[in-house]
Chains A and B, each alone.
Chain A
Amino acid sequence: MTKRLPHPYGRLIDRTKKIQFSFEGKIVDGLAGDTVATALLANNEWLLSRSFKYHRPRGVLTLAGQDANTMIQLPSNPNALADKELITEGLEAKGQNYSGTLEKDRGSILGLFSRFLPVGFYYKAFFRPRGIWEKWAAVIRKKAGLGVIDQNISPSYYDKQYKFFDVVVVGGGPAGMQAALDSAVDGCEVLLIDENPILGGSLNYSRFDVEGCQGQLIRQELISAIEAKNNISVMTDAVCNGWFADNWLPVVAGNRLFKVRAAQTILCTGSLEQPALFHNNDLPGVIMGSAAQRMIHLYGVYPGSAAVILTGNNDGYGVALDLHDAGIAIKAIVDLRDKPIYDAIAEKAIDLGLTVKTGYAVYAAHHKRTRSVKSVDIRKIIRPGVCEEIGDIIDCDVVCMSVGYAPAYQLACQAGAQLSYNDTSAIFTLKHCPSNLQLAGSVNSLWDLDEVRSEASRAARIVTKSLGFISETEGEIISSAKPSPNHPWPIFSHPKGKEFVDFDEDLTISDIINATSDGYEHIQLVKRYSTCGMGPSQGRHSALAAARIVAWATNRSVAETGVTTARPPFSAEKLGLSAGRSFYPKRLTNMHTRHIDAGAEMLQAGAWFRPAFYHQGKLDNQSCINNEVDNIRNNVGLVDVSTLGGIDLRGPDVAEFLERFYTFRFKKQPVGRARYALLTNEAGIVIDDGVACRLSEFHYYITATTGGADRVYQSMLKWNSQWRLDLDISNVTSAYCGINIAGPNARHVLTKLQSDIDFSSDAFPYMGVRTGVISNIPARVIRVGFVGEIGYEIHVPQLVGEALWDLVIEAGHEFGIQPFGIEAQRILRLEKGHIIIGQDTDAMSNPNEIQMGWAVSRDKPFFVGGRTISELERKPPLRKLVGFLIDDLNSPMPQESHLVLDGTKMTGRVTSCNYSPTLKKIIGLAYVPLEKAESGSTIVIKSSEDYSVEATVTELPFYDPKSLRQEL
C-alpha cells in the first residue's frame, strides 16, 4: 500500500496526479514525478533487478542514476535506469537478467558456485582446447546478459544541435549555481547544465544545518538570482557526457545531442558517495545515506521503518536526523571513527539520544525471505579492516552508508587534469587542469557550503577575467577548514566473501586481491583482468575501493596506485544520439526530373545520382539496356554527362601547367581542339583521365571522371602551390550540365537546333571543340567518341540543362531519339575498348600496362609521374590489360574481379565483362600475365560459382577498329 511523507517532503512529485503502471505484470500506483524506483519504494517494493553474474537481488543504491543496480527492462528500452525513468500511465516495466521470476530466479544458484568462478575464470577455463570458448560463449552470454533489445522497434527521431557560450558550468548544485550566477553578473553568456530535473544538487536533499532549512533557503536565493539573469541558459535533465579538446562538450538531453562550444568551462560536477564494503553490502535496503535523503526530500518516500546508519563522517548524523525527523526509527548510528570530532549536526543527533556506536563497523548484513535486508551484524573495529570475532545483531530494514566521497573527476581527467590522493586525509584532488577549465565545489574537495560558494565565485572570476569581462584579480585559493569526510578504510573482509567492490560485475574483495596475486598489479591491468569498473556504472563506486585494495595488496599507497582512466561517455549513451540526423548529401543534375519522368532506374555514383537505364514497358532490365545500345549503334541517343568533372584553367601559363600535370603534350594543341588527358600520380599510377579542350590560347576546359573530379581539382591546386604558375584553376563541375548526343543520326539532330555552330564533319572534326549558342543557350560543344559512334558533348550552364534536354528530345523526335543510361554506355565503351579509370585500373596500373603508352609524351622535361614511368619502361611489364572474347553464349558470364588462373595459380583478374548486343558475344577486359597477352591466347577465368570458362585474348577494340563510325 502506498505511503508517503507529508508535504513539504516530496519536492519532485505531484500528489494531485496519480499514475498507474505495471512492474513484473503487477499494477503499481505512483505519482507524477515518480521514477519507477521511487514508485515501487513507495509500495515497499525494493527488488528491481538481478545482478550480472550471480543473479543476486538488487535494489536502489544511489537513487541518482549512477549505478547499475536499477537497470530494468522497458518494452523498447533495455537497461533503463529505474531511478531515472519517470513513470507514465500504462508503462510496462520488468526486472532484468533472471530465469523464472524476478523473485525466484533460478540463475541465483550461480551464487553458490562463486568460489569456483574466480576472477579471470573465463581466461583460465576456456583457454584450451582450441574452440571451446565458441561452444560455451552462447550459454554464458545467455546467463550473464543485460536487457533484451526489441529488434522490431521503429527507430525514434534523434538529432543534434550546436550551442555556443562564453562559459559553460557543468553541475547545477550550489557551486554550479553560484559560478553561473557570478559569471553572468560579469556579462558572460552562460550555460548551466544539470542532469537532474531541478537545479540545486545537494541543496535539495542534504542537511547543511541543525534545523535542516539552510539548503532550501540558499537554493531559493540562487535560483531567484539566476532566473533574473537573461544571459544564463539552464538545461536540466541534461548530461554533459564528455570533455573534448577546446571545450567541445557533448550534452545529451532527451533525444538530442547538443554539441556545445564553450570559451571557458567550470566543472561543478560534485562528488559521488561511496559504499562501504562488508558481507552482503549489495542487499536491497543497503543504500547510500544520500539515497535515503533523496527518497525523503525529493519523493516523500519512507526508506524504511528501522534504520542503521553506517558512517565515517558527520554527514551520516545528518542522514540520521533527516530519518528521525521523518519518523523513521534510528536503531543505531555505527561510526567507523574511534574518536570522532562532531559538528553541530552530529551533536544534535547525540542530544536527541540516538544510539551511537563509535569505533564500530557493519560487518555483515542479513536478508529475509523478501531478499531485502532484515538485520546487520555490527562489530568493534580492532584495526583498519579487522573486527572482533563476535558482534551484535541489530534488526533493521534499511542500512544507510555515509563513509566518504570520490570527486566526479571524469570530465576533468578527460580534459587532462591529474587525480592525486592524500593517503592521510583520504581525499582526492584534481590538479593541472587546462587554462580553459576551472573546478568548484566538492569535485574540488570542498564540502562546507560557504567555502563551496566562495570557491565557485573565485572560479567565475578567473574565467570572466580570462575572457576580458573583468580585470580584477580572482582572489586567494580556498583551503577547507573542515575535516575530511572520507574514512580511509571502510572495507571489511568476511570469511564468506560477498563484500562487493563492483556491483555491476559482482566483484568482491578477494577477486581484486586474486587479480593482483595472478600478477596483474597495475590498476589498469586489474581492471582488464577482473573487469572491475568496466560495467555500466564505469567504476563510479568501485574505482576508489579497488585502488585501496590493490594498494594494500601490492604494498603501495593509493596515490601510487592511482585509478583507472575515465573515458567518455560519462553515462550510457544511446547509439541513436550518435547516429541520428546524419547528413549524406545527394547530388542531382538539372535534368533529374526528366530522367525520372522517362522511367530511369537511378544509380548512385558517389553522391551523384545517374540513370542506370530507362525502363521500357514490361521489358526486363537487360533487354532495356540492350535496346539502348542498339539505338546508339543504329540511330541516336542522348545521355546525361553532367556528373563529369569540369575544371576551367585560365591564364598565361595554362599550357605549361597542363604539360606538367598530365602525361600528354598540350603546348602546341590548337585552339578549338580537344585532346585526351591522362593523369598519373608521382608513382606513375593512372589515377584519372578526361579531355582537355582549348577554348582560347589561355583558356582550357578540362573534363575529369565523375568520381575523380574533386581529387583532380585538389591535386591541381596542390601542384600549382609549388609551381606558382600564373593561372587560375576553378572547379566548375556543378556550373555546367552536359549531354552527349551519340549515334549515326547525332548530327542530324543537332542541325535541327538553332545554332551558330557548324556541325558538319569538315567544319567540326572529331576531337574538335566549339563555343557558341544553341537556341540562345551558351554552349561548349566537344566532338567525342567514347561510345564508338559520332558524338557531341554539349556543356551548358547548369540552370538551362533541363531546357537543353527538352530541346534535344524535341529535335530528335523524328529520328526516334532515346535517352540511354550508364549501363548501356559501359557496354558501348567496352565494345570500343575504352577503359574506365577506377574500374579497369587499380592502385598499381601504369599507362603501359593498360595499353595507354600512346598517351604519354616522353620528350617532355617533366610531368607528374614521368620519372617513375620511364623507370618502369626499362623493364617488361608483369601484366597487361587485354580484351577477351567468349564465343559460347551459354557460358556463365564472368564478373568483375573474377580470377584469371594458370592451373591453380592466380595470374590476373577480370575488370569488365558484358554481353555485347552488337557483336552477339561475351566480351571483357582482364589483366593477364605478359605471356598470355598475345592475341589468340587462351585464358581461364574462374567464376564465383566454382566454374571455369575459357576465353580468347583479342585485339582491342572489339568494335570498329578503324574508327570509321566516328568519321561519318
Chain B
Amino acid sequence: MSIADPTTSARRSPLTHWHKNNRAIFTMIGSSSVVESYEPKDGSIDEQRQAKELAICDLSTLPRTGFKGQGASMWLGEQGLHLPSSSNSAVIQSSGSLIAKLSDQEALILSDIFALSNDVGNLVNRSTSDHRELTQQTYILPRGDSHCWFTVTGSKASEMFSKICAVDLRTHKFLLGSVAQTSLARVSSVIIRHDFGDTPCFYVLSDISSAEFLWDCLLDAMYEYNGVNIGINALQSLIDKH
C-alpha cells in the first residue's frame, strides 16, 4: 500500500528527503516506511530490468540488529537460529532473515525484504527482557540505527564496486553468503553477497551518519554503467519470479 508522506512514521531513513526530492513513492513494509518505486522524471524506467543490470535500493528502515560477546553465538543458537560455521559468512534462516557472522563473537541479523520474519523483533525483546549481558555475556548492538542498509543489485554490480572498494567482489570470487568488512569510498562497511533469484545482489551496511555521502558515491560510480536508484518493489519482484 502506497503512503503519501514517509514522515508520518517516526523511524525515517537518513535518505528520506533525498527520496522525496527524487519523486519516490513510499510504502509500508511491516512497520517500516520504504521506497516502493520512483516516478520517472522523463520517459519510463523499468526498475525491474534495472535491478537485473545495476541498481541501488535503500532498506535502512527495515529491521536489523546485532549481538556480540562471548556467549552471543550460543545464545543465538538457543533461540533456534542457525549461525554460519565460519566468520565473514552469512546464511539465510528458514524464516527468511539473514545472519552474518562478523567474528566468533559477533553476529548481524537482517530481516528479509518483505519483513515477514519476526526474528529481529523477537531477539530484541528476549535480549532486553532477561538481562542477557549479565548471565551469558551477550550484548545487543543497535545495528538498526548505527548502520544504514542499501542493496546493490545486478550483473554490473561487481564492476561498479571495483571503483570504490579494494576487495575483489566479482561473483566468482565473492561467493554467495560471503561477507567483507571493508571500506567503501572510505566509509567502513559490511558487504554481504545475498542474491535475489539469479540476480547478483549485495547488502551494504555502513555508518548511518555517512549514508547520504555513500549513497551519492554509489550513484556516481553507477552512472558509468547506467545504474539507478530503485524501490523495493523491483527487488521483491526478483524473488517473486523464483
Contacts and interface: CB of A to CB of B under 8 A. Distances in A.
Given A608-B209, A728-B68, A593 B142 contact: no
A164 B166 CA distance: 9
A651 B170 CA distance: 41
Given A162-B165, A650-B133, A734-B146, A586 B14 contact: no
B144 interface: yes
A587 B210 contact: yes
A585 interface: yes
B134 to A, nearest CB: 6
B61 interface: yes
Contacts of B238: none
A118 B10 CA distance: 79
B12 A590 contact: yes
A776 B134 contact: no
A160 interface: yes
B227 to A, nearest CB: 15
B219 to A, nearest CB: 14
Contacts of A590: 12, 14
A652 B131 CA distance: 12
Nearest to A729: B139
Contacts of B68: 728, 730
A735 interface: yes
B39 interface: no
A160 B168 contact: no
A795 B137 CA distance: 25
A391 interface: no
Contacts of B134: 652, 698
A734 B16 CA distance: 17
A464 B16 CA distance: 51
B162 A163 contact: yes
Nearest to A800: B10
Interface string B1-30: 000000100111110110000000000000
Interface string B174-202: 00000000000111000000000000000
Interface in B201-242: 207-214, 217
B161 to A, nearest CB: 9
Contact of B212 (A259, A588, A699, A775): A588
Interface in A571-610: 581, 583-590, 592-593, 607-608
Interface string A78-115: 00000000000000000000000000000000000000
Interface secondary structure of A, over-half rule = mixed
Contact of A735 (B10, B139, B142): B142
Nearest to B185: A583
Given A164-B170, A585-B185, A593 B207 contact: no
B113 interface: no
A797 B139 contact: no
B145 interface: yes
A607 B207 CA distance: 12
B162 A588 contact: no
B146 A583 contact: no
Contact of B61 (A586, A587, A735, A799): A799
Contacts of B211: 588
A732 interface: yes
B163 interface: yes
Tell me which of A163, A583, A648 has the highest count of chain B C-beta atoms within 10 A of its own C-beta: A583
B139 A803 contact: no
A161 B162 contact: yes
A474 interface: no
Contacts of B12: 590, 799-800, 802-803
B45 interface: no
B76 interface: no
A735 B208 CA distance: 8
Contact of B163 (A159, A607, A608): A159
A374 interface: no
B60 A799 contact: yes
Contacts of B212: 586, 588, 592
B207 A799 contact: no
Given A732-B146, A800-B12, A607 B210 contact: yes
Nearest to B143: A735
A736 interface: yes
Interface in B136-176: 137, 139, 141-142, 144-147, 162-166, 168, 170, 173
B69 interface: yes
Contact of A259 (B16, B166, B170): B166
A628 to B, nearest CB: 24
Interface in B64-115: 68-69
B133 A161 contact: no
Contact of B139 (A583, A652, A730): A730
B173 A164 contact: yes
Contacts of A163: 162
A328 interface: no
Nearest to A259: B166
A777 B207 contact: no
Tell me which of A775, A799, A806 has the highest count of chain B C-beta atoms within 10 A of its own C-beta: A799
Nearest to B211: A588
A588 to B, nearest CB: 6
Given A585-B185, A593-B17, A798 B208 contact: yes
A261 interface: yes
Nearest to B161: A162
Contact of A651 (B133, B164, B217): B133
Contacts of A730: 68, 139, 141
A158 to B, nearest CB: 12
A160 B163 contact: yes
Contacts of B17: 593
Nearest to A642: B209
Nearest to A654: B133
B196 to A, nearest CB: 24
Interface in A449-497: none
A599 to B, nearest CB: 16
Nearest to A593: B17
Interface string A173-193: 000000000000000000000
A909 to B, nearest CB: 34
B84 to A, nearest CB: 21
A208 B138 CA distance: 73
Contacts of A650: 133, 139
A588 B209 contact: yes
A586 B166 CA distance: 20
Contacts of A803: 7, 10-12
A799 B166 CA distance: 29
B10 A585 contact: no
A797 B186 contact: no
A581 B224 CA distance: 14
A593 B20 CA distance: 12
B210 A583 contact: no
B110 to A, nearest CB: 15
Contact of A799 (B11, B137, B214): B11
Contact of B145 (A648, A699, A735): A735
Contacts of B133: 650-651, 698-699, 728
B151 to A, nearest CB: 18
A651 to B, nearest CB: 7
A94 B75 CA distance: 74
Contacts of A161: 162-163
Interface in A114-151: none
A733 B168 CA distance: 30
Given A162-B165, A608-B209, A699-B133, A585 B145 contact: no
Interface in A534-592: 581, 583-590, 592
Contacts of B170: 164
Q: Closest 3 CB pairs between A and B?
A: A735-B146, A587-B209, A798-B145
6 contacts: A583-B186, A586-B213, A726-B137, A728-B133, A735-B208, A799-B60
Given A583-B185, A651-B137, A800-B12, 17 more contacts: A259-B166, A584-B186, A585-B185, A586-B212, A588-B211, A588-B212, A592-B212, A726-B137, A728-B68, A728-B137, A733-B209, A734-B209, A735-B145, A798-B208, A798-B209, A799-B12, A799-B208
